Amino acid sequence: MINDQNQKHVSWGITAFAVIAAALFFSFVLEHLGPITVFLGKLVDILMPVIYGAVMAFLMAPTYQLVSTLVAGWLRPGNAAKTSVSKAVNMPVGKAVMAKFRGGSSTKFFTEAERLRKEKNAERIGKMVATFTCIIVILAVLTALIAMLIPQLISGVSDLTNSLPKGANSVSGWIQILFQGKNPELEEMVLEGYGQISDTLAHWISADFMPNLNKYLTQMTSGVMRLFVVLKNFFIGLIVMAYGLNMKEALAAQSKRILYALLPRRVANEVVSELRYVKWVFSSFIVGKIIDSVIIGIICYVCMSFMKMPYALLISVFVGVTNVIPFFGPFVGAIPSAFILLMVSPITTLQFLVFILVLQQFDGNILGPRILGSTTGMSSFWVLFSILFFGGLWGIVGMVVGIPTFAVLTRLSERALAHFLRRKKLPVAEECYDNLERIDEEDGSFRYESKGKKP
């Protein structure tokens, strides 16, 4: 009895100490939040090449796996007896040699060992070819984008600058044609508002932009320096990606080894299962979204070229890139593109907006679901909520990764909720709680609401 009381007091003391320590730690974090944030920012800047490499390795993992498997399969000996080879490898060398020698088939054993060596060489060559393929694909895509976009961007900015006065007159004339004198008061009000906007833009160019051109050039110089930092991180990230792709099995094995060493077996199994689910959700969603956006960009370019719209390549790349952002991506890409086309022709702008509306409906209802499938299994409301919440936390990156992140958090919360319900011997299925009025405290029976009953 005394021992039980002592053990109870000790457990209470440990609990109180843990609560006080957690409160002090939380207070320390709040008090030093500024320096901690600065330290974390510096840590992220230092690790940025590793982050670049991890992201590229994550995106290129399917390509790496496909190429390495194809090359290794092509170089592997045709009729390798994998079962007998694995048995020979797992058997101690002395016993294997003696067994083969006694059976009078030592030549067969050495032939199988040679085949095993060739299989290892084939896997090694397959990994090397797959690594170079991933690097070449990334560099080719980057070079193609730069080669296509830079000339288009320069000519587009030059044409847009030259066509600003002409575009303003074109829009003004289009407004006059639209009303055709039927409503002079409304026409005058619209023209007056448009004139004010044009005058404000012209005044900003002459009074603010041109006098501060030196400051903008200085900012551009600092932007160029940041571009060099990004390029440095990118090329170091390529090296990190190469190592990551070749070491991903070893890194996964080491991580599992640490988990099973530190955690109970059941907990470690749960952690491994959840990490596999996280990898599946993120890879399926992000890679699928990138494929979907590439297809949308190609369709946009083909259709704009067929309709002979200006800046087809520039706008199509912009639409494809912004389409990676779920839900809000089409609006982010369409609004600036429409403004660029407005300086050329208002009719072309209307055609473009109608086309983008049709294209995004096709993407949201047909193409996107076929590529992404039921990766997240989330309703439209929670998709919108996750985009707004994580977009507010992490900006554009949060909008992209918000949906798979929220899907993972939802799965974890569902599993925790199911655990607590089972502990209370209550059903887990959501349908059991539909129209539930109360659960009887004595026998635990479910009482459901009856229609027309006053609450």
pLDDT at 85 (0 to 100): 39
Domain ranges of the chain: 263-427
* Residue 448 DSSP SS3: strand
Question: Could you please report the per-residue DSSP string of 286-303?
Answer: HHHHHHHHHHHHHHHHHH
pLDDT at 27 (0 to 100): 72
pLDDT at 131 (0 to 100): 92
**Which parts of the chain register pLDDT below 50?**
1-2, 79-106
pLDDT at 79 (0 to 100): 40
For 390, the enclosing helix (H) or strand (E) is: helix 380-394
Give me the long-range contacts of 29-35 (CB less than 8 A, separation at least 24). none
pLDDT at 93 (0 to 100): 43
pLDDT at 211 (0 to 100): 60
pTM metric for this prediction: 0.65
pLDDT at 442 (0 to 100): 73
pLDDT at 415 (0 to 100): 87
Q: Which has the closest alpha carbon to 334: 351, 344, 345?
A: 351
**Secondary structure (H, E, C), 313-369:** HHHHHHHHHHCCCCCCHHHHHHHHHHHHHHCCCHHHHHHHHHHHHHHHHHHHHHHHH
- DSSP-derived letter for residue 182 is S
The distance of Cα 52 from the centroid of its chain, to the nearest Å, equals 13
